[in-house]
Structure 1
Amino acid sequence: MINKARINVRVRRLKAGRLSSARARFHGRRDAAGLREFLTDAAAGRTPADDDGLPPYILGLRAQVRRGTARLRSRTLTAHRALHIRIQAESVRVVTQYTVRGEPAPAALARFGQMVGQWRSAASVCRQQAQQLADEANQLIACYWDGAWTRSQRDGHVSGPRPTGWLPGEITLDHTWAHLDDGLLNDRWYAPDHAGRDTDPSAVAQALHILDHQAARGGDATSGVRGR
């Protein structure tokens, strides 16, 4: 049974409420004078290719989200360390049965599947909380640029409404959050690229492959399965 209290790992939220939104707009209005060239470029349809030129307020929000999501991930892994150990051990049993002996082991696979299901539930909650942090920060970023644009428009440096979809510094979760099972593979959940994917797969990777393909085939595949 999943322990929801352990899964629900929390970090300090940005709290993008009315007060925080008003504060973000205040920062935007205050910084508008120093962002004239930036805003003029936006009015002409140009957007920054990277973080160059982003104001400190936006960079601070981005750093805060990076810290928060890293803390979420670390706490989730720590809270489920015992589960990781059991998955490591059970994966060896599954791989031995299916790829070495070539014999189905429904009971072992079911135990492994239950453990993996617990991990996927925990990792899914972690990812949702990380996305919430990003969404709250993006709301504040939007308020900041609204404030800056409104002040610059009032001062006659730009005209018309803020361009639709224009949100310099917008925060998105990196690709390491896209694969929940990567949290079970030590070289992947923190890797910036695809570290380890071209090497011989670990027992956990092979067992995950067996689990998913057994489910897809109705449990009749037995051997010759390699990792992802």
Structure 2
Amino acid sequence: MNESGRTAGRVRGTGTGFLSAPLARHHGRRDAADLETVLAGARAGDAPPDPPLPPYVLGLRSRADRGNSRLRARMLAANRGLSARIQAESVRVVIQYAERGRPAPAALARYGEMVARWRSTAAVHRAMAQELVDRTNWLLACYWDSAWQRARRQAEEDVPADSAERRPTRWLPGRVRLDPTWHRVDDWLDTDCWYQQPESTPDAQRSALRQALAILDGQTAGAARTSTRQSSRG
């Protein structure tokens, strides 16, 4: 992830228009005068942690949020059939394992295959969302680098353009971060509960989906431990 080290080089897919790096730099130079107080505070090391964000930065963040929402919606729409099958099979797994106490390895394996397909698909879309975050932070870096250098030259006219001090790499107001729900994609399968249930919730009160996933993950972890022990003995 581009934590915004610098703006040299190119990033694939930045495009043109609102999302172009040259335009981001142009906005940074144009807004430098209005950001004089914030930039001076940052140079002195006492800038507020969350300064008011200029319109261009707010626009970039808004576009990133919309892009993230579109990726999530696209994934859910394209995999609604898989999601429905996972929910239906979750009920069967809970009945077989939790209520009847009769393990069915073949059925659980089929269920695990469906869940693995869901998680793999989510991983692809999460990578796309991360790329969007990185691209946005790159453009923010272009913007703030240009604003920083222009403000420095305006404050000290005798400073040559090529020797202007650099923006601190960790100072990037408006930085975009990946939506944390991308790391909890199983939650999106649970149509009855769109928030994360506490781990301490009794099994009887948890949805069938969450109980089935717990059974699957528990069986998978147990099989992995058994395989490790057998390998060490061999």
Residue of structure 1 equivalent to 2:189 = 184
Query: Once the 2 structures are TM-superposed, how far is the Cα of residue 153 of structure 1 from its aligned partner?
Result: 0.9
Query: Once the 2 structures are TM-superposed, how far is the Cα of residue 219 of structure 1 from its aligned partner?
Result: 8.5
2:141 aligned with 1:136: no
Residue of structure 1 equivalent to 2:4 = none
Moved over 4 A (4+): none
Q: Determine which of 160, 179, 197 is the counterpart of 1:174.
A: 179
2:51 aligned with 1:46: no
CA contact (8 A) 2:145 2:166 kept: no
Query: Once the 2 structures are TM-superposed, how far is the Cα of residue 179 of structure 1 from its aligned partner?
Result: 1.7
Can you list the C-alpha shifts for 1:9-30, whole angstroms capped at 9, x where unaligned? xxxxx93258811111110000
CA contact (8 A) 2:91 2:209 kept: yes
- Inter-CA distance 164–219: structure 2 relative to 1 (3 Å threshold): closer
Q: Secondary structure at the match of 2:206?
A: coil
Work out the CA distance in 1 between the residues paired with 2:206 and 2:47.
Answer: 41
Residue of structure 2 equivalent to 1:56 = 55
Residue of structure 2 equivalent to 1:15 = 13
Residue of structure 2 equivalent to 1:162 = 167
Residue of structure 1 equivalent to 2:119 = 120
CA contact (8 A) 2:25 2:145 kept: yes
CA contact (8 A) 1:141 1:170 kept: yes
- Which consecutive unaligned segments of at least 5 residues does structure 1 have? 1-13, 221-228
**Where do residues 68-217 of structure 1 align in structure 2 (5 Å cutoff)?**
68-156=67-155, 160-186=165-191, 187-188=193-194, 191=195, 194=196, 196-197=197-198, 200-217=205-222
Q: Bigger CA drift: 118-127 or 173-182?
A: 173-182
Equivalent residue letter for 1:148: A
Q: Bigger CA drift: 136-145 or 166-175?
A: 166-175
CA contact (8 A) 1:87 1:115 kept: yes
TM-score, length basis structure 1: 0.81
Equivalent residue letter for 2:31: D
CA contact (8 A) 1:134 1:173 kept: yes
Equivalent residue letter for 1:31: D
Work out the CA distance in 1 between the residues paired with 2:47 and 2:218.
Answer: 44
Work out the CA distance in 1 between the residues paired with 2:15 and 2:73.
Answer: 27
Percent of residue pairs bearing the same amino acid type: 54
Query: Once the 2 structures are TM-superposed, how far is the Cα of residue 41 of structure 1 from its aligned partner?
Result: 1.3
Question: Which of structures 1 and 2 has the bigger CA Rg?
Answer: 2
Q: Bigger CA drift: 83-92 or 211-220?
A: 211-220
TM-score, length basis structure 2: 0.79
Residue of structure 1 equivalent to 2:5 = none
Work out the CA distance in 1 between the residues paired with 2:100 and 2:154.
Answer: 77
Query: Once the 2 structures are TM-superposed, how far is the Cα of residue 68 of structure 1 from its aligned partner?
Result: 0.6
Q: Secondary structure at the match of 1:155?
A: helix
Equivalent residue letter for 1:155: Q
